Amino acid sequence: MKDSLLFKALSLFVVAAFALAACGTPAPTEAPAATEVPATEAAMTEAPMEEISLRWRTRPDNQEEIDVYSQISETLDAELEGIALTYEPGGTEGTNYQEQLRAEVAAGTAPDVFWIPGTDVADFANRGLILNIADLAGGTEGFDVDAFYPGPMYHLTYNPETDATGADSGALWGLPRDVSTFALYLNLDLIEEAGAPDPRELAASGEWNWDTFLEVAQKTRALGSDIYGYGASAWWGPYGVWLNAAGGGFFNAERNACALNTPGSLEGLEFQRSLYQDYDVATPYGEDPEPPFRAGKVAMFQNGRWATPGVRTVEFNWDVVELPKGPSGTMGNWLFWGAYVINAKTEQPEAAWKLMQALTTANTQGEIAALGANIPSRVSQEAFDAFLTFTPPANNQAFLNGLADSPATEGPLWAGSWPEYDKIMGPAIQAVLTGGSTVEDFGATICDEAGKVFTN
Amino acid sequence: MTVMPDRSAHPTAFILRVFMVWRGLFALLALVAVLGLWIVPGLGASPWQKIVLSMALCIAALFSLLGLFDIAKRLHRGRTISLILDYLAFVACLVIVLNTGGVFTGIDALADTFGRGILYLGIIVAGYLLGSLSDRYSHRPATERWLGSVSKWIMIAGAVLFVWKIDAVNGLLFFLRNLLQPAGWIAVTGIILFGLSLWGMWHETTASRLQVKTHHEAMLNGWLFLSPNLIGFLIFFAGPLLLSFFFSFTDSDAFNPPNWVGFENYAKIFNIRFTGLASPDQLAREVVDTKIYDEVGRLRLGNGGILFAAADPFFWLALRNTLTFALFTVPLSVLPALILANILNSKLPGMKFFRAVYFIPSIAAIVGIALVWQWLYNATIGYINYFITQGVEFLNTTFQAGLVDPKIQWVSDERTALMSVIIIAAWQTMGFNTVLFLAGLQNIPPELYEAATVDGAGAWARFWNITIPMLAPSTFYVVSTTTIQAMQVFEQVFILMNPAEGPNNSTITLVLYLYRKGFINFQQGYASAIAWVLFIVIFGLTLIQFQRQRRSSIYES
């Protein structure tokens, strides 16, 4: 072609234009904004010289949460004078939020403020990846550590150098975003059809314990070979409650030694084993129980508040009830939490601290809790009252009862590696619950193996 | 060999003197940069980064000086060195300019940009196609000119709209503004200087003064064409490979500077014990120091047995699972593929359709495949168990067979979890292997079959004595690549199993384990050591296959 030169020139021009158009986009992973602004145009919008840019990230579980966090980011952007915010959804459970975040921390490209699970706080703090904001908090008028649940704050104020904890420990690693506990999601239709007692009534009358739990599970299981009385996922949370409720637990009180072989832990494990092996009332351990529950084939499904949005779509009658009380007189429930922390490499720690406070106000937490996926991390009657209105489920009080029952706080291992501990404990417990090992064998060997992860 | 003609001696002599100064200056600047690396505070580079950069700069300075002396002696080697050094420096400066301009950090935004500009890019292409039509009207010059003119304006209009739509002008301004910082203008200056130097040295007259022969030119051209791939290979493959080898001797955690630990990581992997047991159920703690070792497995022999313990039991479990996986996956994805290829190689109608059907699993996204299988395998509501239940009920009802529904817990039972992964992997790999075998089958000369048929050979004899030996190269390739692939199994396990290690670590594999060590526990030094051990295992297996191939190959004999 005669105009091939022109075409070549245009081709080069187009390639160059693409490269240029990629320039100046500050946050490629930015969440969809309400009004779409061309990337370069946004980049070209001149910001005042004194305005500070901050990136923040938290793990949402679905698009609705992404939208709410995006909205919150826009609101706070307007409220926080001199601070320009960029919200990044990060990832979800399926896209490895933690791994992606850690890789970015290692590369020095992580956001200024980000969320991490409670179990990760010690690891991040010990490696020097997050800021100790005790000094910033100390100089902030009106800030009160005790405004949040004490369990998370115990770990968030833990000073590994002095072993001190609390407001005066000299350490503050972050602020909790929210809290959650386990409850049992009930398929009321199945329970009624089986003629089993209503667990909510049993709980109200103080008769909701392991025996009555087993009775309901057995009666509903008898409805058919594909109907199960109980279902729980295969991770440390669900199996841990049975150990806690029997007076055992993962660690000793100081959290510096293995307690999986204590009588309480073994009793709890034995009861749970019997649910799977002897009474055969539970969905097979290791299989995701949520699909069969949503298909109407599981009477009692153990999960946290985060499962509520998904369960709201089922077509049968459902509600929640707190976990049954075990031999120790408690439910053995967990207090799950995660925290906003400040990147140790942030260039704007003061602005990041302001953002962190804004993200954990009662108002902000209320907006997120209204979605139904979590519970505000501030202890206040106002927050409780608001939470009770976020229905269904009708019995939201079950979650608050879980919080009031001295739950064991999900927490980091300051004296060892939690991922290593989990990696040893999980398969060993799975072997017991699937019949590959006995509780006696488990008790005889587990702490030899798991004890190695403690550094002290 | 012919020497390139010397057309203008005097200006070239001056240029060569300039080049000698340039080479000296280059060496000096490189050494100053080394000093700057270690003296200027706040550069943000870690010690090992400084060491690597210093070494590279020192080598560059050394070669630049060598080039200087060679140019002085009018040796062609001086030109080669000069071109290579300036080319590499030019590329480095270009990368710095693009990086400073924000091109790489905004690369993700290209999807959005492309989406906005694609329509107008289409207008340019349409204009070009219209212009290409003009060639058909060479017998009607007026029409030809008109089409050419219209196509030109359409392309220009498309380009203008494209530029407007993707906001390229603002991007250019932003890019230029970003360059107004020391790193930016130094790199731009570098591009100009190194570009001029390349142009001058590449010039024909300079080449002729330096006694460059045509084969020297040919060699340089070859390297030039290879360079994009070669530079990419060195930076993105060889570099990380060497780095991981270095990390395997450190305690690197990706966050802090690594400390040298020598062979400690390897020693931990291979710290194993085999101990006799007084009884088959004797506790491990009674025969080994459980502060160091954990039980991996035990062999029960009569009233006693042998205990296998290791300081890192997960590595050995992972190795066992990986080898088991490969042992089953390779034959299950090769033998059916061979049979299938023979069937699909027949002249029956519809074979092309089936060839495509069997190939689909190979090109389907592994995430989607694993999620679909996850549902199929579900023990309570999965289709596989549903059909088994239906089958059992049918047999019991119709034939009073008295069968018990096995209710297999495919992914949650340690006895079946690995097999579930093997089934997916074999199913997925079989189609690709079939295509490879098909290609091999179609290369077998039909005369061989005709001669064998004339000699009275049956179908089986022809398959056994002609097809199998003649397919040996294809079989070797298929078996080797499938084995390597199987030893690197990761995605299927990672997505299918929850947790990925499977019940009682029954699906933990070597790549999964090194991923966990490297990116969850962030023991990247240890993960690197695992990666190198895995490499040695795969290398060893492939070597054995090569040797067996050499011995048995019909082509060798």
Show the tokens assigned to A355: 């953002």
> Is the distance from CB of B383 to CB of A258 less than 8 angstroms?
no
| Cβ-based contacts of B103 with chain A (< 8 Å) | 19-20, 22-23
Which CA distances in Å does A180 have to A237, B58, B208?
A: 12, 58, 79
Question: Could you report the per-residue pLDDT of B250-309, keeping only the tens digit for each?
Answer: 999 888 888 999 999 999 999 999 999 999 888 888 899 888 898 999 999 888 899 999
* CB pair distance less than 8 Å for A40 and B174: yes
Chain A with chain B: Cβ pairs closer than 8 A: 211
The whole-number pLDDT of residue A219 equals 97
- C-alpha B156/C-alpha B46 separation (Å) is 49
pLDDT exceeding 90 applies to what percent of chain B? 48
Interface of B with A in 85-144 (CB under 8 A): 98, 101-103, 105-110, 112-114, 116-117, 121, 124, 128, 131-132, 134-135
> pLDDT per residue over B384-420, tens digit each?
999 999 999 999 999 988 898 888 989 988 899 999 9
Q: Residue A235: closest CA among chain B residues belongs to which residue?
A: B499
pLDDT for position A142: 85
Please tell me the predicted confidence (pLDDT) of residue A45: 42
DSSP state string for A143-210: --GGGB-HHHHHHHT-BTTTTB-STTSS----EEEEEE-EEEEEEHHHHHHHTPPPHHHHHHTT--BH
Q: Is A8 exposed, middle or buried, given 0-12, 13-18 or 19+ CB atoms closer than 10 A?
A: exposed
Confidence of residue B176 (pLDDT cuts 50, 70, 90): confident
CA distance A363 to chain B (A): 34
Fold type of domain B314-556: MetI-like fold (1.10.3720)
What average pLDDT does chain B have? 88
Residues B303-328, mean pLDDT to the nearest whole number: 94
- How far is it, in rounded angstroms, from Cα A284 to Cα B412? 7
Q: Residue A139 forms beta bridges with which residues?
A: none
Compute the distance between CA of residue A445 and CA of residue B309 in angstroms, rounded to an integer: 13
Residue spans of the domains in chain B: they are: 8-101+180-212, 114-167, 274-311, 314-556
What whole-number distance in Å separates Cα of residue B374 and Cα of residue A405? Answer: 37
Element (H, E) at B64: helix B47-72
What are A174-193's pLDDT values in tens digits? 999 988 899 999 999 999 99
Cα–Cα dist A314/A294, whole Å: 6
A291–B167 CB contact, under 8 Å: no
Q: Is the pLDDT of residue B230 over 60?
A: yes
The predicted structure's pLDDT at residue B103: 78
Which residues of chain A neighbour B130 with C-beta distances below 8 Å? Answer: none
Nearest chain A residue (CA) to B163: A17
Instruction: Spell out which residues of chain B touch residue A53, defining contact as CB-CB under 8 Å.
Output: none
pLDDT bucket at A37, cuts 50 / 70 / 90: very low
Contacting residues of A for B392, CB less than 8 Å apart: none
Token pair, residue B543, equals 């070597």
ipTM field: 0.77
Give the separation between CA A270 and CA A440, rounded to whole angstroms: 9
Residue A51 DSSP symbol: P
Q: What is the mean pLDDT of residues B352-372?
A: 85
CB A334 within 8 A of CB A140: no
Contacts of A285 in chain B (CB under 8 A): 412, 503
Q: Which range has the worst mean pLDDT, A259-268, A327-336, A374-383, B337-346?
A: A374-383
The confidence score (pLDDT) of residue B470 equals: 92
Q: Which domains does chain A have, with CATH numbers?
A: 52-181+335-409 (3.40.190.10), 197-332+432-453 (3.40.190.10)
Helix (H, G, I), strand (E, B) or coil at B260: strand
Q: Is B256 on the interface with A (CB under 8 A)?
A: yes
Average pLDDT score over residue span A211-216: 97
A23 vs B174, B291, B295: nearest CB: B174
Q: Which residue has the tokens 């995605």?
A: B491
pLDDT at B177: 85
Residue the block writes with tokens 């003197």 = B17
Which residue spans within A188-325 are E strands per DSSP? 228-231, 298-304, 318-321
A38 pLDDT higher than 70: no
Choose among B152, B380, B520: nearest Cβ to A283. B380
- Is the Cβ of B505 closer than 8 Å to some Cβ of chain A? yes
CB burial of A359-386 (b: ≥16 within 10 Å; e: otherwise) equals bbebebbbbbbebbbbbbbbeeeebbeb
- 8 Å CB contact between B78 and B70: yes
Q: Tell me which residue has tokens 């307690």.
A: A259
List, for residues A369-410, the tens digit of each pLDDT value. 777 777 888 887 777 887 888 889 999 999 999 988 889 998
pLDDT in tens, B81-116: 999 999 999 999 999 998 888 777 666 666 667 677
Is the CA virtual torsion A346, A351, A353, A355 positive or negative?
Answer: negative
Is B113 in contact with A18 (Cβ distance < 8 A)?
A: yes
Gap between the Cα atoms of B520 and A241, Å rounded: 25
Residues 6+ apart with CB under 8 A from B186: none
Q: Cis (ω within 30 of 0) for the bond into A238?
A: no
Task: Reduce the DSSP state of residue B36 to 3 states and report it.
Answer: helix
Whether the predicted pLDDT of A64 surpasses 80: no
